[in-house]
Chains A and B, each alone.
Chain A
Amino acid sequence: MTRAISTSSVDAMPDSAAAKEEVLCDHCDLPVPAGLIDPEAEHQFCCGGCETVYNVLHGAGLEGYYGIRDAVAKDNQPAASSNQNYEELDDPAFQSACVTNLPGGECETELLLEGMHCAACVWLIERLPRVCPGVVESRANIRTRSAVVRYAPDRVPLSRVAQALDKLGYAAHPARGAGAREARRKEDRRFLIRVGVAGAIAGNVMLLAIALYGGALSGIDEFWEHTLRYYSMGLGLLSLIWPGRVFFRGAIAALRTRTAHLDIPVALALAVGGIWGSYNTLTQSGEIYFDSLSVLVFFLLVGRWVQHRQQRGAADQVELMLTLTPTSAERLLDDGTTKRVPIEAVELGMRVRVEAGGSIPCDGIIEQGTTQVDNALLTGESRPIPRAPGDEVIAGATNLGSPIVVTVSAIGDSTRAAKLMALVASATADKAPIVQFADRIAARFVIAVIVLATITLTFWTIRADLRTGIEFATALLIVTCPCALGLSTPMAMSIALGRAAKQGVLIKSAAAIEAMSNPAKLRGVMILDKTGTLTQGKTRVVRSECEPDLLQAAAAIEAASNHPLARAIIDASGDAPAPPAEGITQTPGAGIEGLVDGRRVRVGSPEFIRGSIGLDESTESAVESVLADGLTPVVIADDQGRVGVLGIGDPLRDDTTDAIAALRARGWDLHLCSGDHPEIATRLASQVGIEHAMGGASPERKAELVRTLREQGHERIVMVGDGINDAAAMALADVGIAVHGGAEAALQAADVYLTAPGVMPIETLCDLGSHTMKTIRIGLVVSLCYNTVAASLATAGLISALIAAIIMPMSSLSVVALATRPWKHKGAR
């Protein structure tokens, strides 16, 4: 069935598109490329992946997926199958690490699924038993984008389960570190239990408090009053020692390490209020404070829980991205066949095959094949390096040319990548955590409150008696307890985390939001990596002084080559079919020549052409200017005297220049730090407007730069990068930002991960940071006003305890409402 927009009734496409008789893919509703339309076929697909998924769905009677998808997720495209075979999942080494054996012979494992995003996905994934016999149950979790699959291993191997999920369009990745995940889950549950218990206690104490306040207004029998006060004390103390003990624990830990923390004033208020309240209950005199205290514990825990949940969501998504990096190797067996094995099962001396475009899984020596490798993620060097048999390759590099066979020479901790990771680990240990705004304020707050309380105590002791003094000092401590800081700060932070995620910025630690907010005051420095961060990290034709047909002829010849520059030339020549080329001869390291349409065309370095045909003056000057721009010149010449010059390099990302200007305007002191040649780094820095540039920087040098800048008195250092070579510096910096498409190590070291391409999301993060900090400050001022007014009126005896008890939650409510203050990014694209 060929479905065109004009006949489709389910699509919510604009009418203007109806005129175009565009053929849409039967699976994903995207237009089918002209070359793939098959007029004979009943169904049309934009790619093989979509066709696989479509056939599986229809074969298993799961067409309902399309109905649900159209109903719930109009703009989300379904995922396509990647057709991998997942045989590494059946390896015993993997099975023992990631699969749980259940009683009864069944097994259970958790798989992270790429491409799961809506209700229709959940529906489909939970119908896995229908598609894949042997699977007993499949339960999806849309928040963590994972599924727990229970299956009978004697009926179906895990690889087949993963294949089935892949055929449905969800590439499956085993969730590594099951122990750590379970521990985090337990922590989440404990957190929730604390919130629930604190809430139940607060509710009940408030009920008792209503009776007591009612009694205070209209009179109450003394026996009942004391009974109710004893009950309040019992519940209030339970709240302090059960859910509330986290504040005491936090305060003690902070005091021990002599750091400022919000827990200190909170614990002080709770302790003094609890002790004096109990004393008053037992001596049957004065105020009890248990209603305020238990509500305080509950509110503060709710605030923390909301922030914790939001942060955990971002961490889960980053974890999913971590699993996307290859964790298996293709082992070459003695009989010449290959087998996928998990990376843990690779041993010294094994032979491993690496496909063109694949990532090299281990350090080793090339045994067969000549290729170019891209070490950009490890060294920052943007140019591909030629490698032949006998040469060394390192784990994490990309094989650009042709397939190679590598003999493994180092595994595990002894690889270059592992050594860099050790550097990251030591840098992480060195890093001093940012003292957050709330905690910094808390330090001054404690001093101010203690001073005020002492003054109140002395004043009223002299004026009245000790009892009145303690009474008023306690009231002051409780009423000034930093509820706004404790509640509105986490609320504002978690709202900011959610907004950032929508803009393509995943934040692992909320401190990063604050750290990005005010660079000018703290002499903030942002260090940017070049390759893959400011630039696209890919070789492209950046400058072309060449006629189109000559370029096409060059592309036709280069099609026979696997040189990375060839790829760039072919990409630049456009989509038109290349003319046939014959009689191609390659001169390694120089160029290539062949016959196209009867013309002899040569493509290569200026020296290559100079040696064969010679170059005229205008071409020489074009080559000069290409070199002056830091690009690699390639000359194309044919035997009719026509000459073209190409400049090939790593182009800037589209938004780099704008983003750099915006970041400078915010007051960031920008540094460029690249593993590439110093000259290239300097030129690029001046091109985009960065003052300081450092080239030829090893990972160790980059980390050293962070230390040096810190010694120079810069208090806020941000490192932006994409590769393993940046990871140590990222871990050491106050905030590490990994750009879209970065390496695994960069993800682990970073506090912030960009899911949208480009550098602009960093600017968005800065804007969001200053907005959020402003919100928090306003909240603080508002609540301080409430508290000051309430405290001074209460101490002067002008308002009753009842009104104070009403004002307190009102101040909390209004600061929470403030936290949702709308944010509109001015520089938004």
Chain B
Amino acid sequence: MSVILIMIPGAMILAGLGVWAFIIAAKKGQFDDLDTPAIRAVFDDDDERPGWHDPSHTIQDEAAPQDQSPPSAH
């Protein structure tokens, strides 16, 4: 049972580290905006591949129809 004498302070230190990390993150503004990142994650990876959402036309194709499939996955 005497292992508890080490376990409890150890657990406290771990919890303290978690709280410390949380405070750092909060101070750096990680929790300022909780809505936009959720949206951003949906369509983040098409920048390097323009036209990826519709391989049948290029950027210059001005007359492209609009009823192309959405780039975001349904």
Contacts and interface: CB of A to CB of B under 8 A. Distances in A.
A430 interface: no
Contact of A143 (B4, B12, B35, B40): B35
Interface string B26-47: 1101011111100110110011
Contacts of B5: 227
A355 B29 CA distance: 43
A193 B63 contact: no
B8 interface: yes
A10 B54 CA distance: 15
A354 B5 CA distance: 79
Contacts of B71: 64, 67-68
A139 B31 CA distance: 15
B19 A142 contact: no
B1 to A, nearest CB: 7
Contacts of A196: 19, 22-23, 26
A140 B38 CA distance: 12
B32 A185 contact: yes
A279 interface: no
Contact of A197 (B19, B27, B46, B47): B19
Interface of B, helix, strand, loop or mixed by DSSP? loop
B16 to A, nearest CB: 9
Interface residues of A, number: 43
Given A61-B59, A63-B68, A189 B50 contact: no
Residue of B15, B23, B36 with most partner-chain A CB within 10 A: B36
B43 to A, nearest CB: 5
A536 interface: no
A59 B50 CA distance: 12
B65 to A, nearest CB: 7
B67 to A, nearest CB: 4
Nearest to B61: A58
A19 interface: no
A123 B43 contact: yes
B69 A193 contact: no
Interface string A182-226: 000100110011001100100010000000000000000000100
A2 to B, nearest CB: 12
Contact of A231 (B8, B32, B72): B8
Contacts of B1: 224
Contact of B70 (A58, A68, A185, A197): A68
B22 A67 contact: no
A72 interface: yes
B43 A68 contact: yes
Interface in A139-186: 139-144, 185
A26 B5 CA distance: 71
B61 to A, nearest CB: 8
B10 interface: no
A61 B72 contact: no
B49 to A, nearest CB: 11
Contacts of B34: 143
A189 B34 CA distance: 13
Contacts of B22: 193, 196-197, 200
Interface in A104-132: 119, 122-123, 126-127
Given A63-B64, A71-B74, A122 B26 contact: no
A189 B68 contact: no
Contact of A10 (B11, B43, B67): B67
B27 to A, nearest CB: 6
Contacts of A10: 66-67
Given A61-B59, A122-B40, A231-B8, A141 B66 contact: no
Contacts of A144: 33
Interface string A435-465: 0000000000000000000000000000000
Contact of A68 (B15, B19, B72): B72
A1 interface: yes
Given A8-B67, A10-B66, A64-B53, A189 B32 contact: yes
A42 B70 contact: no
A204 B17 CA distance: 14
Given A58-B62, A189-B27, A71 B72 contact: yes
A224 B4 contact: yes
A72 B18 CA distance: 36
Contacts of B11: 204
A337 B4 CA distance: 83
A143 B36 contact: yes
A184 B22 CA distance: 19
A800 interface: no
Interface string A544-588: 000000000000000000000000000000000000000000000
A731 to B, nearest CB: 30
A200 B15 contact: yes
Contacts of B15: 200, 204
B30 to A, nearest CB: 9
Contacts of B65: 1
A639 interface: no
B8 A64 contact: no
A711 B59 CA distance: 70
Contacts of B51: 61
Contacts of A127: 47
Given A58-B64, A189-B31, 19 more contacts: A1-B63, A63-B66, A67-B71, A71-B74, A119-B42, A122-B40, A123-B43, A140-B36, A142-B33, A143-B33, A189-B32, A192-B31, A196-B19, A196-B22, A196-B26, A197-B23, A200-B15, A200-B19, A204-B11
Interface of A: 1, 3, 8-10, 26, 42, 58-61, 63-64, 66-68, 70-72, 119, 122-123, 126-127, 139-144, 185, 188-189, 192-193, 196-197, 200, 204, 224, 227, 231, 235
5 contacts: A9-B67, A67-B68, A68-B43, A188-B32, A192-B26
